[in-house]
Amino acid sequence: MKWFKAQANGDGTANVTIDKIIASDWSPDWVVDFFGEKSARDFIDAVDALGDLTEINLKLNTPGGDVFSGIRIANYLINHKAKVHVTVEAMAASIGSVIMLAGDTRTMLLGSRVMAHKPSAGLDGWFTAEDLRNHADRVDEIENAIIELYVARTGQTEESIRDMLSQGDYYMDADKAIALGFATDKSEQLKAAACMDQAMFEMQGKVRAAETQILAEQGKIAALKDQIKEQGSSIESLTAELEAFRNPAAAPADDVITKCAEAGFADLAVPMAQAKLPMATIEQRLKLAGEIKDLAKAQSIDATGMMAHLGSPVDLLRHAIQEAKASVDPNINSNHHQNRSENHAGSWSAAFSKTTK
């Protein structure tokens, strides 16, 4: 069973397929022994037998194989007078990537991959340190041979190729293989898929941008709602404060009685409670009552009438002036006391009932 097929088309072209592991020219060899395949010499002989060719269409799908057999096949195809078109149908791995590079054109199909790595070799038996070092040197020489061909056919520098190989099994899809010089083209199906992917990517990008904008606008709307709600709460609070200022709540009667008793004006508690005054007003009037009491005592005048006018500053001032005049003019004092005795009975309740709350 051969690992390759070669067939002439009768028009100067030939179809060649490598679809298995690359067999070795060296015998005995693990590849030949294990797989029972024909050697690389058989491949070259089969292509030569196809006659004078102008184009060779090589379909490639291989995991690799014998290194120097692969290099020999690659050089054979590179130096062939026919134009060589290589198509990677699935995998061009290991030494298969070297054979791929023999193509004048190198096209990758859907899902195909190229894989490059450092060469490896096995040992079986007992060896001295010197034997092992010599073996390692031979593996290095094989690596150098592969790198020479990679550099010559890809256009990459030796440094970049060595860096690539140092990464282990290095897989390349069509775009990466083209970028690195391993492939020259990809199938029309891949191109169409790429165009479709690009269009889809652009559409998805527009959709994501629109979604982002919508989220941003929703965020702004939510923030605006919060501001409106906050402003509404502030307005309600201010309205409540204004209403409380315009219509202050009357202090409880028990609190009024307690406050008046503490200030030393228990006799004012009843009329203040009946007037339904807010506590702030009661405190202000008790403070004023205390000042009037101190002033009346200092001037030796009667404070009783003035206490009846705590809610009316004008009446309070008028009464204070009359008391002051009466203290120095007996006639004024007589008339004043007569008027005061006539009006005193209803003065307390009248004073508190007409005050501004």
Output the pLDDT for position 316.
73
Q: Quick check: is 117 catalytic?
A: yes
- Each residue of 230-239: pLDDT tens digit? 776 777 766 6
Percent of the chain with pLDDT over 70: 80
Cα separation, 336 vs 342, in Å, equals: 10
DSSP class per residue in 146-183: HHHHHHHHH---HHHHHHHHTTSSEEE-HHHHHHTTS-
CATH of domain 4-190: 3.90.226.10
By residue count, the chain amounts to: 357
104 pLDDT higher than 50: yes
Check whether 201 has a pLDDT greater than 70: no
| Mean pLDDT across the chain | 81
Range with the poorest average pLDDT among 3-12, 86-95, 309-318, 341-350:
341-350
- Comparison of pLDDT for 339 and 295, the residue scoring more: 295
Of the candidates 85, 117, 319, 336, the residue annotated as catalytic is 117
Residue spans in the chain of domains classed CATH 3.90.226.10: 4-190
**Phi, psi values for residue 131, rounded to 5°:** -60, -45
Average the pLDDT over each of 48-52, 283-287, 289-293, 338-342 and give the range with the smallest value. 338-342
Which of 24, 39, 69, 94 is the catalytic position? 94
Q: How many angstroms separate the Cα of 250 from the Cα of each of 94, 126, 313?
A: 99, 112, 21
Kindly indicate the confidence band of residue 192, based on its pLDDT and cuts at 50, 70 and 90. Answer: low
Q: How confident is the model at residue 309 (pLDDT cuts 50, 70, 90)?
A: confident
